[in-house]
Amino acid sequence: MRLTSARSSELGHQPTSVSVSALMLTILAVAVLRLAGISLAFPQGSGSFPDEVSYATLAEILARAGDWAGWNGGEGATLVPGSLSLLAPASVFVNVGVSPLVAVRLTSVLFSVVAQMTFLAILMSLAPDGEERNSRRLTLKSWRFVALTVMVLFPSAFFWTSLGLKDSIVISTSLLAVLACMRIREGLGRWSSIVWAFVLVVSLIVQLLSRAYVLIALVAAIGIYGVWCSTATIRRYRFSIRSWRAAALVATSTLIVLAGVCISASTSRGDSSLAGSVFTSIGAQSPLQHLDALPGIRERAARLGASGFIIEICSGQPAPRSAACEVVRLPQALGTVVARPIWPLDDMSRWSPTWARLALLAQMDTILWCSLLSLAFALICFRRTLSRPLSALALTYLGLTWLGMALTEGNLGTLMRHRLILLWPLCLLVALAGTSRKESHREAVTTPRDPHEF
């Protein structure tokens, strides 16, 4: 009788849900609003952020096969060829008649849409208790819907539409790598596994061309995910062939990427061709090159002195080129990644008129970052996770990327848009929140065991 009442109660109170098609249309509508909003705020691109004009100019030079190596205008002149190659999609739009500035903004927003669609696909693959896996609808009153809303509407995504081209590419390929690992683990078929393995390798190559610490974080996260899944599968199915294939794929991809980093770091720079320059520039993105460059960066920051822009400066007595400098500044730098700029510590009106216009929005954005981080860790502590391997993946990526940003970021302006790459692991941790740990423990203790259950 009690079971019948419970079932009728559940049938009578179906949770409100929304279809995947409606969510996809919403994501596209938000993308259009982003393009329109940034165009109204900065119609010409000039007088706002130098990087935006630099990206547009470089995209036009690449599209016209100009002398990009001799170009020396704007902040984009510091881009190494490996990073410069990420502007190739924008140059394609320039070739078909789109203005360079619009091409850069459009490319950034399109990759953001790819990231959000991929995140939606990951959410639909999760199976909360009582819901059908791969359902075509998403419950509104759920942590998965909260995570998707944050992913699509987080203010940083609107602020840096024009400047976040590189970050949008990094986020989208990182999420594609996560989705590829999930699909490979499911074992949908030989050809499907080959396609997703190709997606995984391409995603790792993009990270290799972007930032070394992102590559390290993603490879480590995927490795932990593969090992965790393989261990669980082996225990359940007694040496399942599927799990060994997934582990072998992850191990092979990791070895290929690490070998590429080592080879590129030791390759001479005598080749002057574009392909050779792109290949050898990967050495500048390798972890060893980054570590070698850190003392010089610290010394330059010490010469410039503390300001609203510079965050790489040691406080106290340690010399800027010493290991003690890194030990002293690292805790403060870790807090800076998510907690600055904030009033009254940062008076952004002294930076530039453009920053003065965005000061209030940027400081509110920092508060939201701290709130999202607190929410994610509170859910980890007080709720069960829907997938331990995915939670381990998100935490590993979040921790290593956070550490990499604290070590390598040089100024707050760059940091504010680069920390967008921390958004997807935080949203994934929110989406993985399941039932309360106390309720789960209480049900396990009070539920009587069926005497006929084996």
pLDDT per position as a tens digit, 56-107: 888 888 888 766 666 655 444 555 656 677 788 888 898 888 888 888 888 8
Is there a domain that residue 452 lies in?
Answer: no
Instruction: Assign 237 a pLDDT band (cuts: 50, 70, 90).
Output: low
How many C-beta neighbours within 10 Å does residue 79 have?
21
303 in a domain, yes or no?
Answer: no
Contact 82, 68 (CB under 8 A): no
Does residue 70 belong to any structural domain of this protein?
Answer: yes
**Residue given tokens 């692991």 in the structure block:** 425
> Tokens 């009728």 sit at which residue?
8
**Pairwise CA distance, residues 91 & 351, whole Å:** 31
Percent of the chain with pLDDT over 70: 62
In terms of Cβ atoms closer than 10 Å to its own Cβ (0-12, 13-18, 19+), residue 281 is: buried
Give pLDDT tens digits for 314-340: 666 666 666 777 777 788 888 888 888
- Classify residue 1: in a domain, yes or no: no
Q: Report the chain's mean pLDDT, rounded to a whole number.
A: 75
Report yes or no on 208 lying in a domain.
Answer: yes
Could you tell me if 133 and 190 are in contact, meaning their C-beta atoms sit under 8 angstroms apart?
no
Is 310 a domain residue?
A: no
Residue pLDDT, tens place only, 298-316 = 766 666 665 656 666 666 6
pLDDT at res. 416? 80
Which residue blocks in 238-348 are alpha helix, DSSP H?
Answer: 241-266, 274-285, 287-304, 323-339
Cα 414 to Cα 201, 211, 310, 368, 426, distances in angstroms: 28, 14, 10, 18, 20
Asked whether residue 297 is assigned to any structural domain, the reply reads no
- Note whether residue 447 is domain-resident: no
Domain carrying residue 99? 17-126+135-292+318-437
Query: What's the pLDDT band for 408 if we cut at 50, 70, 90?
Result: confident
Identify the H or E element spanning 126.
Answer: none
Q: How many domains does the chain fold into?
A: 1
